[in-house]
Structure 1
């Protein structure tokens, strides 16, 4: 995309250069002397005529600095053009100036287009290219009568409001790192997360980067350095991220980071809801009669865990998938608000069907949530 810059005020120049944006320098050109569009040379007795309206300058660049003042390429081409406010037919030319590069130069004649290539990376505002149009015909003449009184002032024949473009350059692709808090001794590469939020750490090899993230392949909003996933949905989560630096260079996508969120239980006949801050999502289900059942929808199960509080007054429940064998879970013991109890470990093979949880005695039991997932896990790092 090509963008054309035109001149602005001198005050805007100081501000824009400080923020690495395009600016124009100088003041507006003076009005043309009536009837004089070219500088008439003097004769022996009379002064000539001064054209006091120099040409104006426009510059179009092959790339545009972004809001941070950066481009992400090492080649920039500037196309120069001039215009006049009177009937002057020229000829016109240009002078250019360049600072910040390994080979800077002050004002010198140049032709359009001007291409700068192979530039090293530099901070925002590190490079400044300036161009100004020149009336080549008038510049070669002095309308003042050399032997006479000399009353005609030879005003500048070069644009006094040169166009300046300032930019920074960053062509390097950043790296990104994603780390997850929380640990699970049974499945360290896919830990079960029971908190209401899941904090993830995003880091980049470059300062000032932003991040793009996906959760199960879907784009999701994220920020660094700490990204907190709030109230994640139950089930498996596969998170990836990439960093985008100040120049817009994106990194490669990170290695996937996984975690699993339990399924909260809903009330059923024979079960009442109880609340406690220590429970998963703040509530659980309680039964006090033998045979009270909870039946979950059909699913594929390679690993099954029951989340429940334990205590000396609690009884037992039994759990099965489909019509497979029952697994007895004893909830008595040391008092805890929430314990993860492995009912079927990840090495027991796949099975599918409805998950049934049933109270086994008249002692009260409380169950909180269920982890039911296939036994496919990413390898350990």
Structure 2
């Protein structure tokens, strides 16, 4: 900064008056502290304001951690700061890189808005802004005649412009949800008897994440192919998902996929627990005497299946719901650790009551699980999925 203007050039005047000008005279320079620019004269040195204003910049909206915004309009609030008491006047200049609205340095006023910008990858747009001392720009301190230069003219705009970089994605992705469980009897509401429920989740945009719900409760999930909903509870399930791209745009929720998880049977009087890798949830129950009973809680039944082991020499059981008729199920047949056996098909109407299962001989029977569900399915609850 050059503030003080050296008071006297009497020696120069004397030399001029005598007609003698020292050819090798060095510039006297200006002392620090100038807040404006003044050309030198025979009485004083020139003055150069060597401290330009500093630029401030604030953007709205702010990009996310990936450097992206989800809107096509950006607004910038610009300003300047001075620390030397300079009163200006000051102005602003902007330069935009990227997109069809790109331009070189030009005067701008705060706030600056760029609307209808096309989408671009992170870093696709760069705004630079700089403040300038307009009062000093048109002045140069080294224009006095007959005198050697005394002060260099430093730049009158911020040499380190404020810079803001961003990208833009305004389009929501699409989510693809596919249930891969197979059920020949009820293909749209399959019974799933594995440890997890296999589901395929994919997005139309690479790098997207996923949000999932099971019976309207959030569950952690991952996409990019096959994924399993782990350890689902017994009963009816409605699963839905959406995908969220790196910018934060979310797809619509998918149409729910439905599936049903059997009730795992646990030991009651007259039944023993058996374990094995082929059983649902890793265990089953076994009875080897006539009249061993299982009584399950009251429910409404439109379809009833037994998950049971079959084999040569296996016995029979009978099943009923409430006070309705008994249904006899023969477990003799080809050996299988678990087989689904339809006791009441889904077209037989509704009935309600306790489910009672009873062995009919001393031959062994191994039961693994029960599918008891109505044959009418209520509509999905879409609360909170707008």
Q: Same fold (TM over 0.5)?
A: yes
1:47–1:150 Cα contact (<8 Å) kept: no
CA distance in 2, matches of 1:267, 1:195: 20
Task: Give per-residue Cα distances to partners, 1:35-62, cap 9 Å, x unaligned.
Answer: 3222233335543211111111111112
What is the CA-CA distance between 1:266 and the residue it aligns to?
Answer: 1.0
Shift of 1:151: 2.5
Unmatched 5+ residue regions in structure 1?
Answer: 1-31
Deviates more, 1:303-312 or 1:167-176: 167-176
Give the match for residue 251 of structure 1: 251
Query: 2:162: which partner in 1?
Result: 163
Please identify, of 370-379 and 253-262, the stretch whose mean Cα deviation from structure 2 is larger: 370-379
How far apart are the structure 1 equivalents of 2:303 and 2:164?
62
Task: Indicate the residue corresponding to 2:26 in structure 1.
Answer: none
Distance in 1 (alpha carbons) for counterparts of 2:33 and 2:185: 93
Alignment of 1:9-24 (within 5 A): none
1:124 matched to 2:122? The reply is: yes
Aligned partner of residue 228 in structure 2, secondary structure: strand
Asked whether the equivalents of residues 45 and 145 of structure 1 are also in contact (C-alpha less than 8 Å), the reply is: no
Partner of 2:153: 154
Alignment coverage as a number of residue pairs: 348
Structure-2 separation of matches of 1:313 and 1:377: 38
Deviates more, 1:170-179 or 1:222-231: 222-231
Larger deviation, residues 146-155 vs 160-169: 146-155
Q: Partners in 2 of 1:308 and 1:33 — Cα distance?
A: 100
**CA–CA distance in structure 2, aligned partners of residues 34 and 174 of structure 1:** 60
Asked which structure has the greater CA Rg, the reply is: 2
Instruction: Give, in whole Å, the separation in 1 of the partners of 2:124 and 2:179.
Output: 38
Name the residue aligned to 2:15: none
> How big is each residue's C-alpha offset from its partner over 1:64-87, in whole Å with a ceiling of 9 and x where there is no partner?
111111111111111111111110
109-118 or 283-292, which deviates more: 109-118
1:313-360 deviations in Å (ceiling 9; x for gaps): 100000111111110000001101110000011101111111111000
Deviations 1:8-49 (A, max 9, x none): xxxxxxxxxxxxxxxxxxxxxxxx973322223333554321
Within 5 Å, which residues of 2 pair with 1:279-358?
279-358=279-358
- In the other structure, the counterpart of 1:198 is 197
Q: CA–CA distance in 2 between the matches of 1:375 and 1:330?
A: 24
TM-superposed deviation, 1:244: 1.0
Which residue pairs with 1:59 in the alignment?
57
Alignment of 1:1-381 (within 5 A): 34-44=32-42, 46-147=44-145, 148-225=147-224, 226-377=226-377
User: Normalising by the residue count of structure 1, what TM-score does the alignment of the two structures yield?
Assistant: 0.88
What's the secondary structure of 2:173's corresponding residue? coil
- For residues 205 and 68 of structure 1, what CA distance do their matches in structure 2 show? 18
User: What SS is found at the alignment partner of 1:137?
Assistant: helix
User: What SS is found at the alignment partner of 1:307?
Assistant: strand
* Preserved contact between residue 177 and residue 254 of structure 2 (Cα < 8 Å): yes
Helix, strand or coil at the partner of 2:202: strand
For the Cα contact (< 8 Å) 2:39–2:144, is it kept in 1?
A: no
TM-score by length of 2: 0.87
Q: Once superposed, what is the RMSD of the aligned Cα atoms?
A: 1.6
| Distance (whole Å) between structure 2 residues aligned to residue 278 and residue 227 of structure 1 | 22
User: Which deviates further from its counterpart, 195-204 or 355-364?
Assistant: 195-204
CA distance in 2, matches of 1:40, 1:131: 27
Contact kept, 8 Å, 1:310 with 1:339, in 2: the verdict is: yes
**Equivalent position of 1:5 in the other structure:** none
**CA separation in 1, counterparts of 2:39 and 2:372?**
96
Q: Which shows bigger deviation, 336-345 or 148-157?
A: 148-157
| Conserved? CA contact 1:33–1:51, under 8 Å | no
Q: Tell whether the 8 Å contact from 1:189 to 1:378 is kept in structure 2 after alignment.
A: no
Question: Aligned partners of 1:101 and 1:46: how far apart in 2?
Answer: 51
* Unpaired stretches in structure 2, ≥5 consecutive residues: 1-29, 380-386
